Amino acid sequence: MTQTVTVRVPAKVNVQLAVGGARPDGFHDLANVFLAVGLYDEVTVTPADELRITCAGPDAAEVPLDRTNLAARAAIELGRRHGIDPAVHIHIAKDIPVAGGMAGGSADGAGALVACDALWGTDASRDELLGICADLGSDVPFSLVGGAALGVGRGEQLRALEVGGTFHWVFAMAARGLSTPAVFREFDRMNEGLRVPEPVASQELLDALAKGDAGALARAVSNDLQPAALSLFPELADTLAAGRAAGALAALVSGSGPTTAFLAADAESAGAVAEALRASGTCRSVRTTESPAPGATVL
Ligand X SMILES: C[C@@](CO)(OP(=O)(O)O)[C@H](O)COP(=O)(O)OP(=O)(O)OC[C@H]1O[C@@H](n2ccc(N)nc2=O)[C@H](O)[C@@H]1O
User: Which residues lie near ligand X (CB under 6 A)?
Assistant: 14, 17, 26-28, 30, 32, 101, 103, 106, 137-139, 154-155, 180-181, 184, 255-256
CB-nearer residue toward ligand X: 10 or 101: 101
For the chain, the maximum distance between any two Cα atoms, rounded to a whole number of angstroms, is 58
Annotated ligand binding at 102? The verdict is yes
- The phi, psi pair for 121, rounded to 5°, reads 65, 30
Q: Is 25 a catalytic residue?
A: no
Active-site residue (options: 29, 117, 139, 224): 139
13 φ/ψ sector (left φ>0, alpha ψ -120 to 50, else beta): beta
Q: Closest CB to ligand X among 120 and 167?
A: 167
Minimum distance from residue 6 beta carbon to ligand X (Å): 23
Q: Residues of 44-56 as b/e, b for ≥16 C-beta within 10 angstroms?
A: bbbeeeebebebe
CB of 52 to ligand X, least distance (A): 23
The interface mask with ligand ADP, positions 154-193, x = CB under 6 A, is: --------------------------x-------------
Catalytic residue among 12, 94, 95, 108: 12
7 known ligand binder: no
98 is known to lie in a ligand binding site: yes
292 binds, among ligand X, ligand ADP, none (CB under 5 to 8 A by kind): none
Q: Based on CB atoms, which residue is closest to ligand X, 58 or 215?
A: 58
Distance CA 37, CA 148 (A): 9
3-state secondary structure at position 197: coil
Its sign, for the CA torsion 151, 156, 159, 164, is: positive
Note the helical H segments in 92-125. 104-120
Report the residue from 31, 45, 63, 124 that binds ligand ADP according to the rule CB under 6 A.
63
Residues 6+ apart with CB under 8 A from 131: none
CA distances from 143 to 136, 140, 213, 218 (A): 12, 5, 24, 23
Indicate the SS3 state at residue 243.
helix
How would DSSP label each residue in 269-290? HHHHHHHHHHHHT-SSEEEEEE
Among 35, 45, 71, 214, binds ligand ADP (CB under 6 A): 71
Best CA proximity match to 129, nearest among 104, 111, 154, 147: 111
Please, which residue, 5 or 172, has the CB nearer to ligand X?
172
Annotated binding residue 1: no
Annotated active-site residue 211? The verdict is: no
**What is the pattern of x (binds ligand ADP, CB under 6 A) and - over residues 75-114?**
-----------------x-----xxxxxxxxx-x------
**Which residue's CB is nearer to ligand X, number 32 or number 69?**
32
74: three-class secondary structure by DSSP: helix
**Smallest separation (angstroms) from ligand X to the CB of 111:** 14
Binding residues for ATP: 97-107
Kindly list the residues in this chain that would bind ligand ADP in the complex (CB under 6 A): 63-64, 69-71, 92, 98-106, 108, 180, 256
Give the residue numbers annotated as catalytic, written as ranges. 12, 139
